C-alpha cells in the first residue's frame, strides 16, 4: 500500500534521554491510523517528527513523498497539538476564518470546519469563554480548515463526551474515505477499535503495526487492551 508517512529507524533524544529507539513504520494513504500507547511512550515525539518540528538523532521520516518538515508540506499537513492553539480573544468563527486565510481558504470553508467539529451553536462565542472540550474542538477546526492531505491529531478526543467522540471518529472516517490520511493519537484503548490501522508504541519502541483485526488474531483476544498487554509481555520475554 502507498504510504503517506514512512518512518525508518527513527531515533530521537529529548532532554538527554533516548525517547524513540529506532522506530520503523508507515501510515497508509486514506486511512485512519491510530497511534496508541501509555503516557510518556513517545506518541507526541513521533508526531512532532512527522510534522517536522522535532530534532531527530538519526533515521528518516518522509511525508507525502518529501522529507518531513519540507517547506512545501506546510499547507499539505495539518497538526493538532495537545494544547489548544487558538486565540482566546477571538470567536470560534473568527479563529477559523483567520486560519482559513493562512491556508488560502475562504469563509465558507471556515464555517464548514466549525460545523464539522460540532461547534455551530458556539461559533460566535469568544474562545476564552468555551469549555476545555469546546476549545479543543475549536483548535481541531483550525487544523482541518485547510483540508490538508495529511492530518496529525494529538489526542483530539480528550475531554469530549461519548456522543461527540463518536461524531468526531465518524468525521475522521469520512475524511479518510475522501482520501485524507489521518494519524490520530490516543491512550484510550477503546479508541483503537475505531482505527483502520494501529501503531502500538511503548517506551519508545513499536510493539505492533497492523490492523485491529490482525492484532486481535495474533494475540488470541478480542479485547484490544488485553491484546496490547500480551504484545508487551511477548516483547519483554524476547528482550530477556
Ligand atoms: N521537552 C522535553 N524535554 C525532555 N524530555 C521530554 C520533553 N518532552 C517529552 N519528553 C520526554 O519524552 C518522553 C516521550 O514523551 P511524549 O510526549 O512523546 O509521550 P506521549 O506518549 O505523547 O505521552 P502523553 O500520552 O502523556 O502525551 C517522555 O518520557 C517525556 O518525559
Q: How far is residue 58's CA from residue 4's CA, in Å, rounded to a whole number?
A: 20
For 224-240, how does the pLDDT look when each residue is reduced to its tens digit (9 = 90+)?
999 998 988 887 777 66
19 lines ligand 1 (CB under 6 A): yes
Check if the beta carbon of residue 38 is closer than 8 Å to that of residue 63.
Answer: no
Q: What is the pLDDT of residue 71?
A: 93
State which residues of the chain have pLDDT below 50: none
78 CB under 6 A from ligand 1? Answer: no
- Classify the complex by whether its ipTM is higher than 0.90, answering yes or no: yes
* Residue at grid coordinates 494529538: 154
Testing ligand 1's pocket by substitution, the residue of 7, 16, 19 carrying the most ligand atoms inside 8 A of its CB is 19
CB-ligand 1 contact for 204 (6 Å cutoff): no
Per-residue pLDDT tens over the stretch 161-182? 888 899 999 999 999 999 999 9
Q: Whose CA is nearest to atom 7 of ligand 1?
A: 14
The residue nearest atom 13 of ligand 1, judged by CA position, is 40
- For position 151, what pLDDT does the model report? 97
pLDDT computed for residue 105 by the predictor: 94
Q: How far is the CA of 14 from the centre of ligand 1 (A)?
A: 8
Total-model pTM: 0.94
Q: What is the pLDDT of residue 34?
A: 97
Burial (Cβ within 10 Å: 0-12, 13-18, ≥19) of residue 46: buried
Determine the atom of ligand 1 nearest the C-alpha atom of 46: 18
Please report the pLDDT score of residue 63 as a whole number. Answer: 98
Whole-angstrom CA distances from 103 to 47, 77, 99, 146, 222 are 21, 11, 6, 5, 42
Q: Ligand 1: which residue has its CA nearest to atom 28? A: 40
**Alpha carbons 4 and 65: distance in angstroms, whole number:** 7
Amino acid at each position: 500500500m502507498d504510504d503517506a508517512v514512512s518512518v525508518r529507524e527513527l531515533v530521537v533524544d529529548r532532554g538527554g534521554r533516548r525517547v524513540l529507539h529506532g522506530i520503523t513504520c508507515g501510515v497508509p494513504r486514506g486511512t485512519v491510523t491510530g497511534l496508541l500507547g501509555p503516557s510518556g511512550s513517545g506518541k507526541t515525539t513521533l508526531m512532532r517528527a512527522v510534522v517536522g518540528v522535532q530534532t531527530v538523532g538519526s533515521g528518516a521520516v518522509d511525508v507525502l513523498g518529501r522529507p518531513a518538515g519540507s517547506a512545501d508540506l506546510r499547507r499539505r499537513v495539518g497538526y493538532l497539538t495537545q494544547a489548544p492553539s487558538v486565540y482566546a480573544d477571538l470567536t470560534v468563527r473568527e479563529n477559523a476564518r483567520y486560519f482559513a486565510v493562512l491556508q488560502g481558504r475562504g469563509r465558507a470553508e471556515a464555517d464548514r470546519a466549525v460545523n464539522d467539529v460540532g461547534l455551530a451553536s458556539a461559533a460566535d462565542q469568544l474562545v476564552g469563554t468555551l469549555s476545555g472540550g469546546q476549545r479543543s474542538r475549536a483548535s481541531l477546526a483550525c487544523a482541518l480548515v485547510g483540508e490538508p492531505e495529511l492530518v496529525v491529531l494529538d489526542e483530539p478526543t480528550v475531554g469530549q463526551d461519548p456522543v461527540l467522540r463518536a461524531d468526531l471518529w465518524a468525521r475522521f472516517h469520512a475524511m479518510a474515505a475522501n482520501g485524507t490520511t489521518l494519524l490520530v493519537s490516543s491512550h484510550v484503548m477503546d479508541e483503537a477499535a475505531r482505527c483502520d490501522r494501529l501503531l502500538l508504541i511503548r517506551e519508545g519502541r513499536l510493539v505492533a503495526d497492523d490492523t485491529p483485526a490482525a492484532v486481535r488474531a495474533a494475540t488470541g483476544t478480542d479485547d484490544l487492551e488485553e491484546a496490547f498487554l500480551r504484545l508487551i509481555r511477548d516483547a519483554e520475554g524476547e528482550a530477556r
